[in-house]
Homo-oligomer: A and B are copies of this chain.
Amino acid sequence: MSGELAEGVISLGSGDAHPGILPDLTAEAHEALTARRAETLQYAPRPGLPALRETVAELMGRDGAPLAPSEVQIVNGAKHGLELVCRLLLAPGDSVVVTAPTYFTALPIFRGCGAGFVEVGRDAEGLDVDELDETLTRLARAGERLPKLIYEVPDFHNPSGVTLSRPRREALLALAARHGIVVVEDSPYREVRFTDRREPLLKAIDPERVILLGTFSKLVAPGLRIGWVAADSGLLERMAQAKTDGGSCPLTQRIITEFCRRGRLDEHIGRVRETYRTHRDRMVAALRRELPAVSMRIPEGGYYVWLSLPPGLDADMIESRAEAEGVAVLSGSRFFAGGAVGPSNQQPPTSFLRLAYSFAGPDEIDEGVRRLAAAMRDIAA
Interface residues of A (CB under 8 A from B): 1-4, 14, 16-17, 19, 22-26, 29-30, 33-34, 37-46, 50, 76-77, 79-80, 83, 105, 108-109, 112, 217, 221-225, 241-242, 244-252
B contact residues around A16 at 8 Å (CB): 42-43
Q: Cβ of A105: which chain B residues have Cβ within 8 Å of it?
A: 244
Task: Identify A33's interface contact among B26, B83, B249, CB under 8 A.
Answer: B26
Q: In the assembly, what is the distance between CA of A332 and CA of B44, in Å?
A: 24
Nearest to A19 among chain B residues (CB) is B38
Most B Cβ at <10 Å: residue of A30, A241, A247? A247
* Cα separation A60 to B3 with both chains bound (whole Å): 25
Known: A43-B16, A252-B251. A83 touches B25 (CB 8 A): no
Select from chain B the residue with minimum beta-carbon distance to A26: B33
Q: Could you tell me the distance between the alpha carbons of A117 and B200 in the complex, rounded to whole angstroms?
A: 49
**How far, in Å, is A248 (CB) from chain B's closest CB?**
7
- The answer, among B1, B33, B247, for a CB contact under 8 Å with A247, is B1
Of A22, A41, A242, A247, the most chain B CB neighbours within 10 A belong to: A41
A19-B42 contact given A29-B29, A246-B79, A249-B252, CB 8 Å threshold: yes
Tell me what chain A mostly uses at the interface: helix, strand, loop, or mixed. loop
Known: A29-B33, A80-B245, A251-B252. Is A22-B3 also a contact (CB below 8 A)? Answer: no
Which residue of B has the minimal Cβ distance to A44? B223
Q: Which residue of B lies closest to A254 (CB)?
A: B223
Contact in complex: B2, A43 (CB < 8 Å): yes
How many subunits of this chain does the assembly comprise? 2
For A77, what are the chain B residues with a Cβ–Cβ distance below 8 Å?
A: 245-246
Judge whether A224 and B251 touch: CB under 8 Å: yes
Q: Check B225 against A1 for contact (C-beta < 8 Å).
A: no
> Are the CB atoms of B76 and A76 closer together than 8 Å?
yes
Q: A83-B245, A244-B112 are in contact. Are A223 and B40 (CB under 8 A)?
A: yes
Whether A224 lies near B42 (C-beta < 8 A) is: no
Q: How far is the CB of A5 from chain B (nearest CB, A)?
A: 11
Contact A38 B26 (CB under 8 A): no
CB–CB A25/B33 < 8 A? yes
Expressed in whole angstroms, the minimum distance between the Cβ of A6 and any Cβ of chain B is: 15
B2 & A22 in contact (Cβ 8 Å cutoff): no
Contact flag A45-B249 (CB < 8 Å), given A25-B33, A108-B244: no
Contact of A248 (CB < 8 Å), options: B30, B38, B225: B225
- Asked whether A42 lies within 8 Å of B245 as measured between CB atoms, the reply is no
Interface centre among A1, A83, A241 (most CB of B within 10 A): A1
B249 close to A223 (CB less than 8 A): yes
For A221, give its contact among B19, B30, B41, B241 (CB under 8 Å).
B41
Q: How far is the CB of A267 from chain B (nearest CB, A)?
A: 17
List residues of chain B with CB within 8 A of the CB of A112: 242, 244
Contact status A76-B43, CB under 8 Å = no
